[in-house]
Structure 1
Amino acid sequence: MELKLMKALWGMPGTYETQLRQIAEAGYDGVECHVPTEEEEPLFRELMDRYGLKAVLQIHTEGPDHSASFEKQARRAASFRPELINSHSAKDSMPYEEQLAFFGHALRLEREIGVPVAHETHRGRAMFTPWSTARLLRDLPELRITADFSHWCCVCESMLPDQADNLALAMRHAVYIHGRVGFEQGPQVPDFRAPEYEYALVRHEQWWDEICGLHLREGRQSVLFTPEFGPPCYMHTQPYTNQPVVDLWDICYAMGQRFRERFGRKFG
């Protein structure tokens, strides 16, 4: 089983040229980004081929018709033949029957376009808690998710000690990992390397290990992982100056290297 280590363009300065070259030279296997515009598409395709990078394309559904929004974006994303489409899907406030209709439509479209879709466990979206996600996964067992459990830590204001069953179900449906460490008061610790946040890092790594172990036992060929720390204001900043407390590129790179070494030792 191989690791495909991706780098999100989120928060990176510069053009596609500088971003993709930096990512390739740092040894990443691919990028996660929004779907390029029609104007950007030729350059994006040329640079991805030049640097031999894989793609995870991210979409965000919008109202009032989230199903139509999903379909329009997913069809365009699929034209790039990415490894996966990562979707911020539906809304937390959407009645459950509407959620079922949305995700049922999403599954039908996923089968049609032939590209895997992972629905992200994200605040503000239908999968914003462990129990709301578990309910959907039980009713629609074909659904697959992007495991970003940092959001659940924030929403639940805990490291989820009472959510073992729902976490276990979610991990069985996880096909993509967003490697960001959250804690009880937010979706991103200031620095995962700081000793005061070791407890949160250990907890997330246990979850990621379990997902990788499930992939291995199920005979999957690869694991997709993005060290997805975000820029300010996701990232903590100093009061008054608004200066970030760590360097975004460095902290993502450090997490990616840490996970690569851990993955190789345990699953490679």
Structure 2
Amino acid sequence: MDISFYAPQWGNTLPFDTFCKNVKAAGYNGVEMSLPFDEKEKQEILAVIADHDLKLIGQYWQSFERDLSEHLVNYEKHLRNLIAADPVFINCQTGKDYFSFSQNKILFDLAKRLSEESGIAIIHETHRGKCLYAANITEDYLTRIPDLRITLDISHWCNVHESLLEDQQEAVDLAIAHTAHIHSRVGHSEGPQVNDPRAPEWAEVLETHLKWWDKIAQIHSKNNTQLTVTTEFGPATYMPVLPYTQLPVGDQWEINVHMMNLLKKRYQVF
């Protein structure tokens, strides 16, 4: 099937050229990241990505403003900055969990207009604190805005609902049907990220996530559409840490590469 893998720039502490060199050598197709507003700095980043024959997924996450008018201005500013870089698409942590449906819809409508103007797809991530923070809330949005396409980071919902969503199958299935992009982090009922998905104590949790992702892969294979995956296990303190030292209990890069190779083998990507 047509599937490509992206590395998160989130958590990288290496020089950007070294990071991109490692991303390419590991077998990724590109990187997912936000971009600075400084034009010179942005062009330097884009040049390094191109030099390593990598693709870019633009990432927006800076939805901080409580006032909707201010929020809308900055939302458009960030999206236009990413659009100018001509990414494969933009993954957007849209809105706030405390905005009303009508408030968040204003943001969705703006993203749709910018996408139609530019030809760059803008999709919306399921993320705590943002508009699509819960399974039932997302079900309502997808029902009322049926053309909405999402990035499914279902690890957040496991945390929000303190479960593996056994009692919300209809909401999960609807989200899967609308998924264009996956963040393949493994969450659990008490957190958005297990310490290491290779550990045997997480086998059931990992298998549950894999079955969700399998359904998405099957849909894209049947429709002959490209599926993209960012292996977005995060750094400390998103990665669990030891007390006092705050040292991470796992290796973010190693775990993300493991997740990519696991999914490549599962979906027979060579």
* TM norm. shorter chain > 0.5: yes
1:34-73 equivalent positions in 2, closer than 5 A: 34-37=34-37, 38-60=39-61, 61-63=63-65, 64=67, 65=69, 66-73=71-78
Deviation of the 1:216 alpha carbon? 1.3
Question: Is 2:20 the counterpart of 1:20?
Answer: yes
Identity of aligned residues (%): 36
State the partner residue of 1:131. Answer: 136
Q: 1:67·1:106 contact (CA, 8 Å) conserved in 2? A: no
Correspondence for 1:224 among 216, 228, 234? 228
State the partner residue of 2:188. Answer: 183
State the partner residue of 2:30. Answer: 30
Secondary structure, counterpart of 1:175 in structure 2? strand
Q: 1:5·1:225 contact (CA, 8 Å) conserved in 2? A: yes
- Aligned structure 1 segments of 4 or more residues deviating by more than 6 angstroms: none
Paired AA for residue 86 in structure 1: N
State the partner residue of 1:77. Answer: 82
Paired AA for residue 91 in structure 2: N
Secondary structure, counterpart of 2:123 in structure 1? strand
Deviation of the 1:42 alpha carbon? 2.3
State the partner residue of 1:155. Answer: 160
Q: How many angstroms apart in 1 are the aligned matches of 2:237 and 2:246?
A: 9
Q: 1:236·1:245 contact (CA, 8 Å) conserved in 2? A: yes
State the partner residue of 2:259. Answer: 255
Deviation of the 1:117 alpha carbon? 1.1
Gaps of 5+ in 2: none
Deviation of the 1:106 alpha carbon? 2.0
Q: 2:2·2:221 contact (CA, 8 Å) conserved in 1? A: no
CA deviation map 1:116-163 (0-9, x unaligned): 111110000110001111111111111111000000000000000011
CA deviation map 1:76-129 (0-9, x unaligned): 111111111011110000012212222122222221121111111000011000
Q: 1:6·1:226 contact (CA, 8 Å) conserved in 2? A: yes
Deviation of the 1:24 alpha carbon? 1.1
Deviation of the 1:3 alpha carbon? 1.7
Secondary structure, counterpart of 1:18 in structure 2? helix
Q: 2:187·2:194 contact (CA, 8 Å) conserved in 1? A: yes
Q: How many angstroms apart in 1 are the aligned matches of 2:188 and 2:194?
A: 6
Deviation of the 1:47 alpha carbon? 1.3
Paired AA for residue 160 in structure 1: L
Paired AA for residue 62 in structure 1: F
Q: How many angstroms apart in 1 are the aligned matches of 2:131 and 2:18?
A: 35
So what's the TM-score if we normalise by structure 1?
A: 0.95
Q: 1:36·1:44 contact (CA, 8 Å) conserved in 2? A: no
Question: Is 2:115 the counterpart of 1:110?
Answer: yes
Paired AA for residue 187 in structure 1: P
Deviation of the 1:35 alpha carbon? 1.5
CA deviation map 1:39-71 (0-9, x unaligned): 312221221221110111111233223332221
Correspondence for 2:148 among 137, 143, 150? 143
Q: How many angstroms apart in 1 are the aligned matches of 2:266 and 2:13?
A: 29
Q: 1:107·1:142 contact (CA, 8 Å) conserved in 2? A: no
Aligned residues: 265
Q: How many angstroms apart in 1 are the aligned matches of 2:241 and 2:76?
A: 37
Q: How many angstroms apart in 1 are the aligned matches of 2:130 and 2:43?
A: 32
Correspondence for 2:238 among 230, 234, 239? 234
Worse overlay, 3-12 or 42-51:
42-51
Secondary structure, counterpart of 1:6 in structure 2? strand
Deviation of the 1:213 alpha carbon? 0.7
Q: How many angstroms apart in 1 are the aligned matches of 2:153 and 2:253?
A: 19
Gaps of 5+ in 1: none
